[in-house]
Structures are given as C-alpha cells and as structure tokens.
A and B are shown apart, each in its own frame.
Chain A
C-alpha cells in the first residue's frame, strides 16, 4: 500500500506538533470569578487561544490541533474508504465516546467534520506524564486504522464462511 509509507511521517508530525502545543498550565477564567474553564472549549478571550493547526495525510485523513493556555483539543478524521469501513468507524467511535470517562482525555462528542476528539487539560497533566499521554494519542491513531481494517477483513471472512456453509448443503 503506497499510503502506509506516508504513515510514519504523518504520525511523527502530529507528535512533534502535540509536543509543542501541549504546553499548558492552570489558568483560572478571566471572565467569571472563581471558575476554571478549558479555554479552547469556551473561546471567550482571543489572547488565550492559539491558531488551530491541521496536519493532513490526505483529503480524507487529517488531524486538527487547537491549543490554548490551559487546554488542547485534538480532533482526528479517520480514513474510511468504503461503506463498510464507514459504518465500522462510526460504530467504533460511538462505542469509544460512550466510554469517554474511562479514557479521561476523550471528548464525549467529536468536533464537526471529525470522527473523534480528545481534550487535554492542565489537570490531566498534573496526574499523568506529558510524553506518555502524547504517545497514547499517537498509538491510538495508529491502532484505530489497523483495527478497522482488521474488522473489515474479519467480516468478509465470516461472510465467506456463512455463504460457503449454506451453499455446500445443496
């Protein structure tokens, strides 16, 4: 596959960008007293959010990184080549997003036009290693593509067996 050659540079770029973007610290809200909100979600003060950045591997596969002073939002668009990959991806991301509490940094709803989103806040960095967190996101991006392909192959294999067993009976 020609595209697998382009996978490593894509992931390396995302990793480097995240390393630079996830430089966040605690920053209580400037607008409401005693509140502490992730600025990338609220977007109330222009000086606190940085320009969003898109790393794209192709038209269909890209990664949106939005940073701010106390939080970073990472949204991923996963490659879906045909109908079955589309429903597999949809089912999988829905499954993950329903369990987003377990994943701590996962967002319950993906950003529009993207398949899944993560939200990293300063409080996460207070309890987890930054480099390991970024490693997790990179590994996730790699694994989800592999998993969707594997599920598609498994479905085709099952369909083949189901058809063979039926037709063999004639």
Chain B
C-alpha cells in the first residue's frame, strides 16, 4: 500500500520519488545498465542505488540512517526480515545499512517496488510497527517505553498506556518565531481532532514546562528551545487492516510535515508584508506634488525639464 495521496502540495509522500522511478525501470521494466546514484531524503537519510557492471540484474540500495542500530533493536529488524527477507548485505563506505536483490527473481514486482521505494519509512517506522503489532495482538501491556532519536534533539517516544499506544513528539525550534508558530500549529492539532476529526487518534498538546505524564517513565531532559509536545493516542481501531501501515506512514512523516508547513506559512507572511509595503508606498507617493516637467510659452515653444 503506498503512502497517503498528495492533495496538491499539502501532504508529504512516504515513498521516495527518486527510488520509485529509478527502480521501476529495473524491477518492473528491464533496464540493466550499471549505475551509481546518490541522494538524500528527509531526516538526513542518505541513499545510494548501486548496480555493478559484473551483475547487471543485481541492484543494491544503501542507506545511511543516523540511529539504525537503535531502530533495529526496537522493531526495524523484524520489518526488514519481513519485507526484504535475506536481502541484507554489507553497506558501502559512508552508509550503515544495505539490501541487495536480483531484479529477475522478484516475485510480486509492483508490491516489492512499493516496499523498496518506502524503505526509509519502513525502517524509521520500525518501533511503531512493533508497538502497533503488540497492540493488535493484545500483548502491549508490558511494552517497555521506547525513545526513538531520528533527529538529535527531537526524540519520539512510543509508550503504552491503558490499552493504547501513545506516540509523543518533542517539537524543538531554535528560532523564537518558529517556536511561537509551532505552538499555534500544535494547539490546532489538538483542537481540530477534538472538534472535527473524531476518527483520528486523540491529540494532546503539552507545553514545554509541563510534559505529558507518560514521559515520567523515561529519562529525558528537555532543551530550552522546546516548543512543546504533541501526543497521539493510537487505539486498535486506528490500526486495523490498512490503517496500520497508514498510521506508520503518517506518524513517521509528522515532524517533516510540521516543519514544511511552518516554513510555508513564513513565506506567506513575507508575501503579505511585501504587498502591504507596496500599498503604503502608493499612499506616500500621493504626498508628493506633481512636478511640472513640461512648460509651454504662448507662441507654442516647449521647454522640457528633466
């Protein structure tokens, strides 16, 4: 199942467009020439697609994920074994995870292509996959709280509480304007869920000085530039069937989604201010009297003043 559909430019996709396009021609199509393509994706994840001349049907996908060891421990290993069985291989220099597969030997081509194109989300979502799996199997009661550090100062906490999985994001911004805007956005999430979108997991905004109760079970020192916390209370009904994959895609993209929209709001404000300045300039120009640049004498001779 591919990620949530993009509505114009509002939602972010879970799958990497570059990976999808490059691999489509090889997995579904029959492109077999050697290549080496490196690029970056969200969360500072570096990706490289390698195809050697000696084995044109074998493609290697190398990734550099900052907290790969932590993720593997917390559930990503099971995801890798499930979606990319037997494909794990030695990563190249500068990368810390890799899979390698034979394009000719792929069974369900479209499905596998989707899985590889979403590899970043699948691995980063490992802890969520584990937690949701436990919830569905009704075995989440003794789940240890997980602290996932996809980014250095912005941990995501996955904690079990009362038959629900609470996913808590610590939202941090170094700039004060961003912080204030973030607070507005986070509070809207809570209100919109409560009033309009009752089907979504209940959201709770906690200011930086008053972290949510679940965090008392983990060791965590908040930074002074924290804007606050947003907690999603995920219940079984949110993750049945295709909902599980959908929820993982949405939650792994939450931080990037928030930052993207805060930046685009700043751009919007900038455009508004420009427009206002232009309007005021017009008013100010009215204050200048019109200077005669052309004068005529009675006999018709014209003088032009520059």
Binding site for B on A (CB under 8 A): 83-84, 86-88, 90-92, 95-96, 99, 102-105, 127-129, 132-133, 135-136, 139-140, 143, 147, 150-151, 154-156, 158-170
Are A162 and B261 in contact, with the CB atoms below 8 A?
yes
Interface secondary structure of A, over-half rule: helix
Chain B binding site: helix, strand, loop or mixed by DSSP?
A: helix
- In the assembled complex, the CB of B260 is this many whole angstroms from the nearest CB of chain A, namely 9
B192 contacts A167, C-beta separation under 8 Å: yes
Question: A132-B287, A167-B200, A170-B199 provided; 11 other pairs, C-beta below 8 A?
Answer: A84-B180, A84-B184, A95-B277, A103-B280, A129-B287, A133-B287, A136-B280, A136-B287, A155-B181, A166-B250, A170-B243
28 A–B pairs (Cβ distance < 8 Å), ordered by A: A83-B180, A87-B177, A88-B269, A95-B270, A95-B273, A95-B277, A103-B284, A127-B288, A128-B288, A135-B283, A135-B287, A136-B286, A136-B287, A139-B283, A143-B280, A147-B276, A155-B269, A158-B265, A160-B188, A162-B185, A162-B257, A163-B188, A163-B192, A163-B193, A165-B10, A165-B11, A167-B189, A168-B200
Query: Of B176, B261, B277, which one neighbours A99 at CB under 8 angstroms?
Result: B277
The closest CB in chain A to the CB of B265 belongs to A158
Task: Check if A151 sits within 8 Å of B197, measured CB to CB.
Answer: no
A residues less than 8 Å from B286 (CB atoms): 132, 136
CA distance A147 to B273 in the complex (A): 9
In the bound assembly, the distance between CA atoms of A83 and B185 in angstroms comes to 13
Q: With A and B bound together, what is the CA distance between A37 and B117 in angstroms? A: 68
> How would residues 171 to 187 of chain B score, 1 for a CB under 8 Å from any chain A CB and 0 otherwise?
00000110011011101
**A147 proximity list for chain B (CB < 8 A):** 272, 276
Residues in chain A near residue B11, CB distance under 8 A: 165-166, 169
Determine if A163 and B185 form an interchain contact, defined as CB atoms under 8 angstroms apart: yes
Smallest Cβ-Cβ distance to B273: which chain A residue: A95
Which 6 pairs show the lowest CB-CB distances between chains A and B? A132-B287, A167-B200, A159-B188, A167-B197, A163-B192, A170-B200
